[in-house]
Amino acid sequence: MEEGKLVVNIGFVGCGGIARAHVQRLTKIPEAKMVAFYDVVPQKAEDLAKLVGAKAYPDLQQMLDGERLNAVYVCVPPFAHGFEPEIVERGIHLLVEKPVALTLEVAREVERAIAKAGVLCSVGYMWRYLDTTALAKKTLEENGPVGMVEGLYVDPYWFPPGHWWIDKAKSGGQVIEQSTHIFDLARYLVGDVARVYAELDTRLLTDVPGFKTEDVSLVTLKFRNGAIGVVLSTCASRRTFTGTSLKVLAKNVVVEHGGHSGILKIYWNQEVREVKPAVDSYLEEDRVFVNAVAIGNGSAIKSSYSDAIKTLEVTIAANEASRENRVVPLL
C-alpha cells in the first residue's frame, strides 16, 4: 500500500454474480477491505461474507449503522435502485453497477443526492478501463472524423425460470440491461447521441414461460457529431454463436473493439493490427475506484453517475422509439 493511502472499508448491497466478480478483484487490492454484505436473500450475503471474513446483515440500515463504511458497491437489478440517497447522505462513496436505474426519474433523484453529498461515484462500465479501449479512442481521435458505427450483442438464452431479467418491467429489457455496454462504448469512443429509432420484438423465445421482454432488437443512432450507427442485439442465439463487438469506421481507419473479449483490431489500408488487452477490466475499474476513495480524488474514474445517465437515456429512448413507432430526439 502506498504511503498516505487509507484502508477503504467497503460494503455491498446486492450479492449476486456481479458482486462476486468484484469481490474476487477486490481481494487483490491491498487498500480494499470488504467488511459488510447485504442482500434481500440473506443466504447470498452470508455466502459472500464468509469468503472474505466479513459480516452479513439482514437489513441495509443495520449495515449502515453498524459499520464505518467508506464505500458501498451497489449491485442490484435495475428495478431495485432508488435507495442510494440513504447511503450517500452519510458521506459514503458509491460504485453502482449498470444500468443505474430503470427510469430517468429515479436516476435524476440519485444524481441530485450524489451531487448534494459531494461523494464520488463510479458506474460499472468496465470496458472503458481496458488498455485496448484507450488505444481505440486515441486512434479514432487521430484519424477521424467517424462516419459509421456498427454494434453487436449476441447472447444465448440462459436465465432460470422466474428470473427478473426476463420481465421487462424489472430489467428494462436487453437493450437497457445488457446491450447498454455497447451503447456506452459507442458514446465513449464516438460521442453523444442526438436521436434514436428502434425496432424491438419477441420472435424466438415465445415458448419460454414468463418471458416478457424483447429477444431481438435493432437500434439506429444519429450522433451529435454527424456519425450514424446501428446496434443489433439478441438473447436467443446458440451457444456456438455469441459475441459482442463495436466497429467504428472513420476517415482514415476502421477500429473493431471486441467488447467482452477486449481484443482490438485496427484496419489500415495495407495492414491489420490486432491488440489483446493486457489488463482485467473489472480489476482496473475496482482499482481506480478504491484508489479514488483512498486519496479523495475521482479524476481517474472513467464513468461518472451523470455520464452513465446519458447512456441510460439512449437505451430508454430506444424502448420509447419502438413502442411509439417514432424517432426520439435527445435533448
Instruction: Give the confidence band of 6 by pLDDT, cuts at 50, 70, 90.
Output: confident
Assigned C-alpha cell, 200: 424491438
Q: What is the pLDDT of residues 45-78, one digit of tens each?
A: 999 999 999 999 999 999 999 999 999 999 999 9
**CATH class of the domain at 8-125+282-303:** alpha beta
- The predicted pLDDT at position 4 comes to 54
In 10 A of CB 30, how many CB atoms? 11
- The predicted pLDDT at position 331 comes to 86
- The predicted pLDDT at position 5 comes to 62
Q: How far apart are CA 250 and CA 228, in angstroms?
A: 11
Give 75's contacts (C-beta < 8 A, 6+ positions apart).
12, 13, 14, 15, 16, 18, 19, 22, 97
Instruction: Give the confidence band of 1 by pLDDT, cuts at 50, 70, 90.
Output: very low
Question: For the chain, what is the largest distance between any 2 Cα atoms, rounded to a whole number of angstroms?
Answer: 62
Q: What is the pLDDT of residues 195-248, one digit of tens each?
A: 999 999 999 999 999 999 999 999 999 999 999 999 999 999 999 999 999 999
- The predicted pLDDT at position 271 comes to 98
Is the whole model's pTM more than 0.85, yes or no? Answer: yes
Q: How far apart are CA 97 and CA 75, in angstroms?
A: 5
Q: Domain coordinates of the chain in residue numbers?
A: 8-125+282-303, 127-278+312-329
Q: Which CATH architecture has domain 127-278+312-329?
A: 2-Layer Sandwich (3.30)
The answer to whether 312 touches 57, Cβ cutoff 8 Å, is no
Percent of the chain with pLDDT over 70: 98
Q: How far apart are CA 266 and CA 37, in angstroms?
A: 42
Q: What is the pLDDT of residues 139-170, one digit of tens each?
A: 999 999 999 999 999 999 999 999 999 999 99
